Amino acid sequence: MDLTSTLKSSIDKLNEQFPGKIADIYQSSGDTFVRVDADTIVDISRYLKEELRFVYLSDVFGTDRYQSDDRFEVVYNLISLRDRDRLFVKVWLNEESPEVDSVTSVWKAANWFEREVYDMFGIRFRNHPDHRRIYMPEDYSYYPLRKEFPLLGIPGSIELPSTTPESE
Amino acid sequence: MGLESALGEGYFTSRVDTLVNWARSNAAWPMPMGLACCAIEMMAFAGPRYDVSRFGSEVFRFSPRQSDVMIVAGWCSYKMSHAIRRIWDQMPDPKWCIAMGACASTGGMHRCYGVVQGVDNFLPVDAYISGCPPRPDAVIHALMKIQEKIRTEHSVTLDT
């Protein structure tokens, strides 16, 4: 599939600006993916937003690449409203301490997205302004979208309400 | 003019229980606990086409203090279960509960860690409705079952 001219020039500029930090560029299902070095994600994000006009962070999600070397992946779904381009930026993180810098300083929208990724996969985001779980109870001790987590959850791990009213 | 003239002088015997149950069963005001798509069918159940006011249940009360039947319509997450139980506890006795649809009854297709696998895990459910979502007639059927239950209950006299 052909890249749009704007997307092609964006990727060329990205390559030029961050030599050696772009690990992989490929296309799949009609979308363009760029895998970058996890340590430079904030710089790359800021460049993408301010220079290449990817102003809209549509989504951030995690992936569990179970039994692969770098087990976790964080994917940033970026949209350039000016050029009508969509770009997926990925970083790979290791299994022992999955940690990456937060991009909330670039896109404010990343706040809740990163909380969701943390909630579901246990990936930590450095310098996140509000690093809490977003869906599961705050005292929950598992990460439900990890591959080893059972489908029906851990029995008894989330409290059900008491069936006797407090007054009785 | 009224019934009296047709019947003439006379009297009628019944039990207080029967009278109270008759009144209660025909004024079972629902507490709409609409959590998902079942709530749309629950609205149709109250609307003019299915017209549940024929059974005295047209008054959807959004205050638990004024309602008698809680209709749990939709899938219930663990976080929501606490709110539902709280509202249930706020409803005055006597009260009844309908688990509407597959999700409220068993968890349905949401067979996962975040959804309670049936609201009967924390609520005393009187009637379960199958379907995904159930047709409004099925909800009326459940309501009629509850009416039947109310009419055979001991309300004033002690059940000894």
Cβ separation B86–A136 shorter than 8 A: no
Which of B81, B111, B113 minimises the CB distance to A160? B81
Convert the pLDDT of each residue in A64-89 to its tens digit.
999 888 899 999 999 999 988 899 99
Please indicate, yes or no, if residue A74 is contained in any of the structural domains.
yes
CB distance B27 to B19 below 8 Å:
no
Q: What are the chain B neighbours of A134 within 8 Å (beta carbons)? A: none
Please indicate, yes or no, if residue A153 is contained in any of the structural domains.
no
Q: What are the chain A neighbours of B111 within 8 Å (beta carbons)? A: 151-152
Structurally, how many domains does chain A consist of?
Answer: 1
Cβ separation B113–A149 shorter than 8 A: yes
Lowest mean pLDDT among A14-18, A52-56, B10-14, B59-63: B10-14
CB distance A88 to A31 below 8 Å:
yes
Cβ separation A152–B111 shorter than 8 A: yes
Please indicate, yes or no, if residue A33 is contained in any of the structural domains.
yes
Lowest mean pLDDT among A1-15, A119-133, B141-155: A1-15
Q: How is B95-160 classified by DSSP, letter by letter?
A: -EEEEEHHHHHH-TT--STTB-S-GGGTS--SEEE-SSSPPHHHHHHHHHHHHHHHHTS-SSS---
Cβ separation A144–B113 shorter than 8 A: yes
For the record, the structure tokens of B13 come out as: 């015997």
CB distance B45 to B52 below 8 Å:
yes
CB distance B72 to B124 below 8 Å:
no
CA distances from A49 to A35, A90, A101, A154 (A): 17, 15, 16, 41
For the beta carbon of residue B47, count every other beta carbon within 10 angstroms: 13
Q: Residue A154: what pLDDT?
A: 85
In one-letter notation, the amino acid at residue A46 is R
Which of A152, A159, A160 minimises the CB distance to B113? A152
For the record, the structure tokens of A124 come out as: 């930590």
Q: Residue A19: what pLDDT?
A: 87
The list of chain B residues with pLDDT below 70 reads 1, 157, 159-160
Residue of A nearest to B91 (CA): A165
Q: What are the chain B neighbours of A143 within 8 Å (beta carbons)? A: none
Residue with the bigger pLDDT between A27 and B58: it is: A27
Domain that holds residue A36: 5-126
Cβ separation A137–B78 shorter than 8 A: yes
pLDDT confidence tier of residue A21, bands split at 50, 70 and 90: confident
Q: Residue A60: what pLDDT?
A: 94
- What CATH code is carried by the domain that includes residue A113? 3.30.460.80
Q: Residue A166: what pLDDT?
A: 60
Please indicate, yes or no, if residue A163 is contained in any of the structural domains.
no
Please indicate, yes or no, if residue A101 is contained in any of the structural domains.
yes
ipTM reported for the complex surpasses 0.85: no
Residue of B nearest to A161 (CA): B82
CA distances from B72 to A67, B46, B49, B69, B93 (A): 42, 15, 21, 9, 17
Please indicate, yes or no, if residue A156 is contained in any of the structural domains.
no
Please indicate, yes or no, if residue A24 is contained in any of the structural domains.
yes
**Is A155's pLDDT higher than 60?**
yes
How far A91 CA lies from chain B's nearest CA (Å)? 28
Q: Residue A3: what pLDDT?
A: 76
For the beta carbon of residue A76, count every other beta carbon within 10 angstroms: 27
Identify the H or E element spanning B32. strand B30-34
Q: What percent of chain A has pLDDT over 90?
A: 54
In chain B the domains, ranked by start, together with CATH numbers, are 30-151 (3.40.50.12280)
**Is A8's pLDDT higher than 80?**
yes
Residue of A nearest to B78 (CA): A160
Q: What are the chain A neighbours of B86 within 8 Å (beta carbons)? A: 161
Cβ separation A158–B85 shorter than 8 A: no
Which of A136, A149, A161 minimises the CB distance to B122? A161
pLDDT confidence tier of residue A116, bands split at 50, 70 and 90: very high
pLDDT confidence tier of residue A165, bands split at 50, 70 and 90: low
